[in-house]
Chains A and B, each alone.
Chain A
């Protein structure tokens, strides 16, 4: 990773990294340190007295069944979003990789949704699933299924999962397609000579060769589902009905900014931080491995 340095002196390089370091310090390191600091403290209701309480905020957090429930809900949400979105993207990528007429057009029409904002994705779906104006809602109601995701928890959860997964399909599609294109044609030829075709060829040759891409995407999709879906959830359900669609990020926003519970919100921030650190570590360990091999 080292390269022979070609310029001497330290004033110029220091000036070059300074802007980045200043931003990093003031907007990343300092606030993160504050979150750690606040997470060990408690303020009284009027914000006058502050006392050091050690890990009490954390023990309270994990003793709270609502918080533990939110953790599980977030994990299930992330797993479902990642799975649905990746499965659909892989299916489309496999067919878009074939030598067919107009595949450039197909690709473009499957790549543009990358640009959709999570919050805007929610608005696009209102015409389908909104209890009063949605087309699908109308059909379901006509079939005798009472559809109202603003009241029904299971329906609300289904909607946020589907919209979040839908928005991420293009991203995964781009990566799976690139992964498929990097499989050497000779490998596929050899497989065909051995009589592996269709589903068997996919299962025994293609899918294993895509493993690095798949693994990378699992990590990225988990991070996406945990963090970037905030806009989707806020626009659709605001975490409701009840707490049916409240993920950890929605909760930390509610408790911190809306309910102004400093100690608990900071402790939640620290828990999230540990989660991100774990995911980043996994990702880099893996990325490092890919570079070596």
Chain B
């Protein structure tokens, strides 16, 4: 077999990489230029080092349509972490109960959780809003996070992981006289560490990228997430400050991209082995 350089593969992959890298570069270049020039359609592909101050500006002042970016990023961060950690804890606990205990209505509990797979926010928009209003959760941080914590997908995943633990291991733990909590802490959590890591990435990105839910339950600008904020910025058609919008877009991308890149190995494995 010949062992030369596979030029076709390199060419195709370079084009593919460029398809995603070029828009990003363009956004970076534009963020450093004058808003007026961008508005006239004169975007240069070369960034202007003098314009880098825009990042400090958006972080502290924001742009027309939305408040300071540091605040929105902090909120997005808290929301993403809250959703991620909440989902993982609640799913581990319920999967543990369903997989290792026998109790009345066990299968009812399991199917009740399962059904939520078929009920995304979009199919129950108004009544969910009404429930939130009833609990006084509109325009509250709890309202942003709590309802998104229930998770059939994560519960199913953990249940599958728990069921695949060899019987010998379970038996050995039992011989050691491990109680329910010790069994969870010493056996189940270490065994599913890789799954938890993978799920962390998937759920963090999920939480950070939420749009419809915050749009519904948090109309107070103080509760604008960064994703909501940037759509508000481009919504002000009259005086859009394009360089600030582009700087904000890059900042909005940074945390979820960093999480994906830093935990890439676990993430890819967990994504393709588990469910979506």
Majority SS of interface residues in chain A? helix
Q: Is A12 part of the contact surface with B, judged by Cβ < 8 Å?
A: yes
Q: Are A120 and B249 CB-contacts (below 8 A) given A10-B104, A166-B19?
A: yes
Sort chain B's interface into a size bin.
Answer: 35 or more
Which residues of chain B are within 8 angstroms of A276 by Cβ–Cβ distance? 118-120, 123
Q: What's the nearest-Cβ distance from chain B to residue A196, in Å? A: 15
Which residues of chain A are within 8 angstroms of B268 by Cβ–Cβ distance? 111, 174, 178
Q: Is B245 part of the contact surface with A, judged by Cβ < 8 Å?
A: yes
A80 to B150, CA, bound (A): 32
Q: Are A19 and B93 interface neighbours, CB within 8 A?
A: yes
Q: Are B230 and A123 interface neighbours, CB within 8 A?
A: yes
A13 to B246, CA, bound (A): 50
Q: Is A202 part of the contact surface with B, judged by Cβ < 8 Å?
A: no
Q: Are A273 and B123 CB-contacts (below 8 A) given A16-B96, A29-B112?
A: yes
Q: Is B102 part of the contact surface with A, judged by Cβ < 8 Å?
A: yes
Which residues of chain A are within 8 angstroms of B212 by Cβ–Cβ distance? 230-231, 253
Cβ contacts A to B, 22 pairs, < 8 Å: A3-B163, A16-B97, A20-B113, A20-B150, A21-B94, A27-B150, A29-B119, A32-B124, A35-B127, A98-B9, A111-B260, A111-B268, A112-B257, A112-B261, A115-B256, A117-B211, A125-B23, A128-B23, A133-B43, A134-B41, A234-B231, A266-B126
Q: A92-B16, A123-B231 are in contact. List 20 more A-B contacts (CB 8 A).
A: A5-B100, A16-B96, A20-B113, A21-B113, A24-B112, A26-B147, A30-B127, A31-B131, A38-B126, A95-B13, A106-B16, A110-B16, A114-B260, A117-B208, A118-B211, A128-B23, A253-B125, A269-B124, A276-B119, A280-B117
- A residues near B (Cβ < 8 Å) are 1, 3-10, 12-14, 16-17, 19-21, 23-35, 38, 88, 91-92, 95-96, 98, 100-101, 103, 106, 108-120, 122-128, 132-135, 137-138, 166, 169-170, 174-175, 178, 220, 227, 230-231, 234-235, 249, 252-253, 256-257, 262, 265-266, 269-270, 272-273, 276-277, 280
- B residues near A (Cβ < 8 Å) are 5-6, 8-10, 12-13, 16-17, 19-21, 23-24, 26-27, 30, 38-41, 43, 90-91, 93-94, 96-104, 106, 109, 112-113, 115-120, 122-131, 135, 146-147, 149-151, 155, 163, 167, 170, 174, 180, 183, 205, 208-209, 211-212, 215-216, 227, 230-231, 234, 242, 245-246, 249, 252-253, 256-257, 259-261, 264, 268, 271-272, 276
